[in-house]
Amino acid sequence: MGAVVVAALDVTASDLLGPLYCSVAVPAGFPSPAQDYFTGRIDLNQHLIKDITSTFLVRVSGHSMNGAGISDGDEWVVDRSITPVDGNVVVAIVDGELTIKRLRLEHGRVRLAAENPDYPDVVVPELAELTIWGVVTRCLHRL
């Protein structure tokens, strides 16, 4: 199903403080030289984490989610306090095995959908043990 590495977040506010160079959105077209000034610091905790006590970083292993822009080695911010709904990308445990897929609830059945046609979806059998471990809120992707 694919391996995942889970790590608890152990950070203080100052750990995720970084410089905020411009207080306005940066256009993807031509740069504006008038907006190259420093305006203070940005707290990544506020932007990435809703509840630090239930948030974990998960490293993706495998290619089953490539179609969603998620690559092998990416890191996810996963919140265990969010109630999963149809369409969420989740970390699931099916019969003791971890997997990362898109949650699909269809006609009383659960399907964990891959985002790559080379990988099969996981249709969870009625008698299988399923735990939705957490809901993915962000994907940290290296360029």
Regarding predicted confidence, which is higher, 68 or 10?
68
Q: Domain residue spans in the chain?
A: 4-9+51-140, 13-47
What do you get for the CA distance between the two ends of the chain, in Å?
25
Question: Considering only the top CATH level, what class is 4-9+51-140?
Answer: mainly beta
pTM: 0.72
**How many other CB atoms sit within 10 Å of the CB of residue 12?**
9
For residues 9 and 56, the answer to whether their CB atoms sit within 8 Å is yes
Digit-coded pLDDT (tens) for 11-60 = 444 454 444 444 445 556 666 565 555 566 777 777 778 888 888 888 88
Catalytic annotation, pick one of 54, 64, 71, 81? 64
Residue spans of beta strands (DSSP E) within 11-96: 17-20, 40-43, 55-60, 75-79, 89-94
Contact (CB, 8 A) for 129 and 136: no
- pLDDT tens for 120-138 read 999 998 888 999 999 999 9
Distance CA 72, CA 38 (A): 34
Q: Is 64 a catalytic residue?
A: yes
Give, as one character, the DSSP assignment of residue 54: G
Rounded to 5°, angle at Cα 73 from 132 and 61: 50
The one catalytic residue in 32, 50, 81, 101 is 101
Which of 41-45, 79-83, 108-112 shows the lowest mean pLDDT across its residues?
Answer: 41-45
Q: How many CB atoms lie within 10 A of CB 57?
A: 16
| Annotated catalytic residue 81 | no
